[in-house]
Amino acid sequence: MNGSESIVEVKNLTITDSATDRVIASNISFELKKGEILGFVGESGSGKTLSMKTVVNLLPSNLAAKSDKFIVLGNDYNEISENAKKALIGKNIGLVPQNTVFYLHPMFKIKNQIADGYMLYNKKKKSEGIERAKEKLRIVGFKDPDRILESYPWQLSGGMRQRVNIALALMNDPQIIIADEPTTALDSTLQAQVLDLFKSINEKTGVSIVIISHDLGVIRKYCHRIAVMYAGQILESAPADEIFENARHPYTKALIRVIPSLNIKKDERLMEIPGFVPEKNRERKECIFKKRCSEADERCNGDVKEGIEGLHYCKCSKYCGGEV
Ligand SMILES: Nc1ncnc2c1ncn2[C@@H]1O[C@H](COP(=O)(O)OP(=O)(O)OP(=O)(O)O)[C@@H](O)[C@H]1O
Ligand SMILES: [Mg+2]
């Protein structure tokens, strides 16, 4: 891993629903470095998908993103035109979307959609696109790419569609891959295969990867660095080992406790974090996790404090107060 060159740098991203003025994500800051695999983890509704959709310019039209800084591969998203953004993303970013069902067009055979972006952004002929698609389909484990190319998406299982999506994301040899819950539709053998594949592509080509997952076990095994999201905020981020050996935020600690494979014996009951992720006032200045936090005390009143020590960032007045 190169580890120094910044590929994506975002400061204070806020996502708002323009129809209702509801703030969905607030003050999201993160960096993706060249060659690293960055994991986003957090409960459902915490804003993982939407935060990454801003990177690929795919936010739903009712949502608005604002940021103090948004640099992708040296380009300032707050300055460049929509067309420039589209070209930059099309050529350099591969997306493996969370929802595999609607991503591929149901009316077209795979061969009539998998190479579109490649042909468009690299000015290639269809025959060249198809050859390349076969190569990428083989990489994701299809032994008979010709049959897949001749299929309609609805003729494939969820797991096969997901692998087609991954092949599609690889078509342009991107510098960044964003994989949103890339293995949810797959059985456990395929899950490991797909994640191993991401890791080996990362090691071979130095591509930077973002993996979004509910599964902290997956994130631990495959990511160099981890960002923990909760209710539209990043509460903690650090190198993977540091998160697991020295988690500071009570939310991160609770998440780690609920991973069955890591800490809980087979017949022990899985612990859950009581309560719900708040939908409202996500831009609040006080701690967003306070109501569910088993460790909250008088130090948690007032504005939440943030702290950073080396590469370890944390937002908690009790454990992480300090300089950012
Ligand atoms: N188009 C939209 N308009 C308004 N609110 C939305 C829209 N899409 C998502 N949301 C809301 O934004 C919040 C964050 O959604 P997001 O999909 O980013 O969460 P997530 O962390 O990816 O969750 P999951 O783990 O379930 O995929 C949720 O509360 C969701 O209801
Ligand atoms: Mg999501």
Greater confidence (204 vs 32) lies with 32
Taking CA atoms only, the protein residue closest to ligand 1 atom 12 is 24
Once rounded to an integer, what is the mean pLDDT over residues 237-241?
96
Greater confidence (46 vs 183) lies with 46
Residue 276 CB burial class (10 angstroms; 0-12, 13-18, ≥19): exposed
Distance (Å) from CA 65 to ligand 1 centroid: 14
Once rounded to an integer, what is the mean pLDDT over residues 288-294?
92
Whole-number pLDDT of residue 75: 98
Once rounded to an integer, what is the mean pLDDT over residues 58-86?
97
Q: 242 and 216 in contact (C-beta within 8 Å)? A: no
**Which of 3-17, 238-252, 255-269, 285-299 is the least confident region?**
255-269
Greater confidence (156 vs 102) lies with 156
Distance (Å) from CA 196 to ligand 1 centroid: 28
Q: Ligand 1: which residues within 6 Å by Cβ?
A: 17, 24, 42, 44-50, 60, 62-63, 98, 214, 279
Q: Give the residue carrying structure tokens 């540091």.
A: 242
Once rounded to an integer, what is the mean pLDDT over residues 285-307?
92
Whole-number pLDDT of residue 103: 76
The minimum-distance atom of ligand 1 relative to the CA of 15 is: 12
Residue 246 has pLDDT above 90, yes or no: yes
Distance (Å) from CA 49 to ligand 2 centroid: 4
Once rounded to an integer, what is the mean pLDDT over residues 243-265?
79
Taking CA atoms only, the protein residue closest to ligand 1 atom 29 is 45
Once rounded to an integer, what is the mean pLDDT over residues 80-101?
90
The minimum-distance atom of ligand 1 relative to the CA of 50 is: 18
Among 24, 61, 180, 219, name the best residue to mutate to test ligand 1's pocket (greatest count of ligand atoms within 8 A of Cβ). Answer: 24
Rounded Cα distance between 81 and 264, Å, is 50
Residue 324 has pLDDT above 70, yes or no: no
Once rounded to an integer, what is the mean pLDDT over residues 89-106?
84
Distance (Å) from CA 231 to ligand 1 centroid: 10
Q: Name the closest ligand to CA 214.
A: 1
Give Cα separations from 142 to 108, 139, 147, 289 (angstroms). 19, 7, 9, 44
Once rounded to an integer, what is the mean pLDDT over residues 111-123?
91
Phi, psi of 203 (to 5 degrees): -70, -40
Q: Buried b / exposed e across 183-218, counting CB within 10 Å, b at 16+?
A: bbbbeeebbeebbebbbebbeeeebbbbbbbbbbeb
Taking CA atoms only, the protein residue closest to ligand 1 atom 17 is 49
Summarize pLDDT for 148-169 with one digit per residue, the tens.
999 999 999 888 888 899 999 9
Residue whose C-alpha is closest to residue 248's, from 282, 288, 295? 295
Whole-number pLDDT of residue 284: 87
Distance (Å) from CA 11 to ligand 1 centroid: 20
pLDDT band of 102, cuts 50, 70, 90: low
Q: Going by C-beta distance under 8 Å and a sequence separation of 6 or more, which residues neighbour residue 291? A: 275, 278
Q: Name the closest ligand to CA 48.
A: 1
Three-state SS for 70?
Answer: strand
Mean pLDDT for the chain overall:
89
Among 22, 46, 54, 55, name the best residue to mutate to test ligand 1's pocket (greatest count of ligand atoms within 8 A of Cβ). Answer: 46
Q: 102 and 111 in contact (C-beta within 8 Å)? A: no
Per-chain residues with Cβ under 5 A from ion ligand 2: 49, 98
Q: 40 and 227 in contact (C-beta within 8 Å)? A: yes
Residue 101 has pLDDT above 70, yes or no: no
* HSE, side-chain direction, 13 A CA sphere, residue 241: 0
Residue 261 has pLDDT above 60, yes or no: no
Number of Cβ within a 10 Å radius of residue 123: 8
Rounded Cα distance between 285 and 317, Å, is 12
Residue whose C-alpha is closest to residue 47's, from 31, 61, 59, 35? 59
Q: 247 and 256 in contact (C-beta within 8 Å)? A: yes
Q: Where are any strands of DSSP class E within the chain?
A: 6-17, 22-33, 37-41, 63-66, 69-72, 75-76, 93-96, 176-180, 208-213, 225-230, 233-239, 306-309, 312-315
Phi-psi region of 226 (alpha: psi -120 to 50; beta: other; left: phi over 0): beta
Distance (Å) from CA 273 to ligand 1 centroid: 20
Distance (Å) from CA 212 to ligand 2 centroid: 8
Share of the chain above pLDDT 70, in %: 92
Residue 141 is encoded by which pair of tokens? Answer: 């484990």
Summarize pLDDT for 11-24 with one digit per residue, the tens.
999 999 999 999 99
Taking CA atoms only, the protein residue closest to ligand 1 atom 27 is 44
Residue 218 has pLDDT above 90, yes or no: no
Q: Name the closest ligand to CA 26.
A: 1
Residue whose C-alpha is closest to residue 194's, from 128, 96, 266, 107? 96
